Amino acid sequence: MGEDSAPHPHRWAMLAGVWMVYFCFGSTAAAIAPLVARITTELDLNHTQMGSILGAWQLVYIGAAIPCGALLDRIGPRPALRSARSLSRSRASCAASPRITSPCSSIGLALAGGDWRLVLIGYGFVALAAAVVWFAIGSHEASRAQERRRHAEKPAPSSAQYLALLRAPAMRTVLYLAVGTFFFGHALNNWLPEILRFGGMDPTSAGLWASIPVVIGMIGALIFPRLAIPERRMKILAALFLAQLLAPLFIEWGGSTLIAGLVFQGLARGSSRSSSCW
């Protein structure tokens, strides 16, 4: 039986590795909000200063995504992984680095006795462990064989691929949708615990209430793509955009509309991110 005649079981390990990488990235973007109150108080920062610090990573991400992707295509995933692992090891010892965190920041604070520096160090080692696992996955013979096949294919330069994608009207539509979805996500989703805390909740209650959109989002991401057949796809998208509009208004009004706002946010959060696959 040839090498390509049947899917290799190792693909599941690679899928798990991709999930771990995306988990580390997502937790970095989403988990810092529960630590903001302690960090701003201890470092004597105002909200403008803290917002500027925590908004810096998006600019770095946008500027680094394309050249890093091109570098990955050129040198291959395993050398890039080794470089990233070395970088993660050095960063794991940096007490003030907010680069690697987890959605369980509130739990981490309790376990660390309220020391946010220990929380960040602990999550740094979680990311380091994920890098070690990826190194093992990349060292497997199936991964090496796939890498050899990819190098033998000699794909077109990344710049040519980007231009070809941008010429496709459907891809431009997906990009517009992605910009709006990510603007909504980074403006509201990641900061919901802090928003609720400023609305009068204690940190524990804010964390519990902020989990509602997460649960609703996971359910919506499983249900709505199955319902979005071509005949009703635009209606479902319109409903999700309406939910995206109403969610921050209902959350701001509070009171009896708060739960509705959190549910709308969860539906918009989980479903709109997967809408590009419909």
Q: Tell me, yes or no, whether 63 lies in a domain.
A: yes
Co-location of 93 and 39 in the same domain: yes
Q: Tell me, yes or no, whether 163 lies in a domain.
A: no
Select from 149, 94, 167, 158 the least CA-distant residue to 127: 94
Q: Which among 136, 157, 178 is the end of a domain?
A: 157
Co-location of 39 and 113 in the same domain: yes
Contact, 271 vs 221, CB < 8 A?
yes
Co-location of 75 and 191 in the same domain: no
Co-location of 174 and 259 in the same domain: yes
Select from 185, 180, 263 the least CA-distant residue to 29: 185
Select from 85, 126, 83, 132 the least CA-distant residue to 105: 126
Co-location of 33 and 100 in the same domain: yes
Domain range holding 269? 168-278
Q: Which among 157, 181, 200 is the end of a domain?
A: 157
pLDDT score, position 170: 83
Contact, 14 vs 135, CB < 8 A?
no
pLDDT score, position 246: 92
Co-location of 149 and 211 in the same domain: no
Cβ within 8 Å of residue 125, ≥6 positions away: 92
pLDDT score, position 263: 92
Co-location of 90 and 187 in the same domain: no
3-state secondary structure (DSSP) of residue 146: helix
- Cα 261 from Cα 6, distance rounded (Å): 47
Our CA angle for 256, 29, 80, nearest 5°, is 160
pLDDT score, position 86: 45
- Cα 123 from Cα 28, distance rounded (Å): 9
Segment-wise mean pLDDT, segments of 10 residues, the chain, 278 residues: 60 83 73 76 85 77 75 65 47 36 57 78 83 83 76 68 81 81 75 82 80 84 78 84 90 89 85 55
Q: Tell me, yes or no, whether 174 lies in a domain.
A: yes
Q: Tell me, yes or no, whether 162 lies in a domain.
A: no
Q: Which among 157, 178, 208 is the end of a domain?
A: 157
Select from 99, 92, 91, 109 the least CA-distant residue to 193: 109
pLDDT score, position 259: 92
- Cα 100 from Cα 92, distance rounded (Å): 8
Co-location of 219 and 271 in the same domain: yes
Q: Tell me, yes or no, whether 122 lies in a domain.
A: yes
Please state the pTM of the whole predicted model.
0.61
User: What is the phi/psi pair of residue 209, to 5°?
Assistant: -65, -35
pLDDT score, position 15: 83
Co-location of 132 and 205 in the same domain: no
Q: Tell me, yes or no, whether 263 lies in a domain.
A: yes
- Cα 276 from Cα 57, distance rounded (Å): 24
Contact, 228 vs 278, CB < 8 A?
yes
pLDDT score, position 95: 33
Structure tokens at 236: 């479902």
Q: Tell me, yes or no, whether 41 lies in a domain.
A: yes
Co-location of 52 and 13 in the same domain: yes
C-beta neighbour count of 135 within 10 angstroms: 15
- Counted domains in the chain: 2
- Cα 228 from Cα 241, distance rounded (Å): 14
Structure tokens at 228: 């979005």
Q: Tell me, yes or no, whether 248 lies in a domain.
A: yes
Co-location of 270 and 210 in the same domain: yes
Co-location of 179 and 242 in the same domain: yes
